[in-house]
Amino acid sequence: MKTALTIAGSDPTCGAGVQLDIKVFQRIGVHGLSVVTSITSQNTTGVKSVHPVDTGTVVEQLDVLIEDIRVDALKTGMLYSSATVEAVSAVLKGAGLGNIVVDPVMASSSGMPLVEEGAVERMIEVLFPLATVVTPNIYEASLLSGMKIEDTDTLCEAAKKIKSFGPDAVVITGGHFPPSGDDTVVDLYHDGTDSICFDSERIPGEYHGTGCAFTSALTAYLSVGEPPPVASRKAKEFVTAAVRKASKIGMGMGILGV
């Protein structure tokens, strides 16, 4: 059986983080592995607090997994600290792991910072060059590229800038960007040669964990041998279907139907 690993934070709602990632892996038919980088206190209305796991414990979790189990693909989510970014990158590089998806998590939907100062810069320097695909949302892509993304031209320029940091490909997810109109969501895939837009219907409402679901689905599809453009398209289709089946279990955002 193929395996997929998530290196990310814990979410007690199971609507994001490692809990959602594992649900997505199982839904797609691969065995899920997890390394927990932080424990959050959150619900559907927002993140209340973040409690990072110390870097040594994160590395120990990762080391014992990869010395025993073949990892066919992996994703990183919330790493939080510069020390953890550096340590995880060193382990991944030393082990020669491939099919790496990097979700450059910076803040929650409610605005809570999910990364300490300086960690994003270290991510760009040591983790992005190892990545098969980096998956920023519009907000993250704007910060990473230093560009204000207002239309498809600036979306493409931002993707090119992020690609220059070393990943094989970039997908900018467009949940908050409707260049084709309010009824359409556009994701942009760019690998230095091809730029491909994936369109989908915009479904009204606010939904928890869409970025996590996209990256975990992308990781799962890479683990079974799909090339990055195909895996990216299938991941978008997976998330769109999950949003359509979302449930309102709390007072805040909907939980995806995974």
Where are the chain's structural domains? 3-255
According to the CATH classification, is domain 3-255 in 1.10.1740.10?
Answer: no
Three-state SS for 127? helix
Three-state SS for 219? helix
- Pairwise CA distance, residues 203 & 219, whole Å: 24
Confidence band (pLDDT; 50, 70, 90) for 214?
A: very high
DSSP 3-27: EEEEEEEE-TTSSSHHHHHHHHHHH
Three-state SS for 108? coil
- Pairwise CA distance, residues 223 & 156, whole Å: 27
| Average pLDDT of the residues in 147-171 | 94
- Pairwise CA distance, residues 45 & 182, whole Å: 24
DSSP 43-73: ETTEEEEEEEPPHHHHHHHHHHHHTTS--SE
Which residues, including other chains, have CB under 8 Å from residue 113's CB and lie 6 or more apart?
106, 107
Whether the per-residue pLDDT at 218 is higher than 70: the answer is yes
Whether the per-residue pLDDT at 174 is higher than 80: the answer is no
- Pairwise CA distance, residues 31 & 25, whole Å: 6
Task: Write down the pTM of the prediction.
Answer: 0.95
Whether the per-residue pLDDT at 185 is higher than 90: the answer is no
Predicted confidence (pLDDT) per residue in 88-145, tens digit: 999 999 999 999 999 999 877 666 778 888 899 999 999 999 999 999 999 999 999 9
Whether the per-residue pLDDT at 176 is higher than 60: the answer is no
**229: exposed, middle or buried (Cβ count in 10 Å: 0-12, 13-18, 19+):** middle
Greater confidence (183 vs 257) lies with 257
Please give the DSSP secondary-structure letter assigned to residue 166.
S
State the Cα angle at 171 between 102 and 178, rounded to 5°.
130
Q: Tokens for 128?
A: 């992005």
For residue 188, the model assigns a pLDDT of: 94
**pLDDT-wise least confident of 82-91, 110-119, 168-177, 213-222:** 110-119
- When computed from its CA atoms, the radius of gyration of the chain, rounded to whole angstroms, is 17
For residue 110, the model assigns a pLDDT of: 63
- Pairwise CA distance, residues 152 & 154, whole Å: 6
Tell me how long the chain is.
258
Percent of the chain scored above 90 by pLDDT?
A: 83
For residue 207, the model assigns a pLDDT of: 92
Q: Tokens for 116?
A: 């300490």
Whether the per-residue pLDDT at 177 is higher than 60: the answer is no
Average pLDDT of the chain, as a whole number = 93
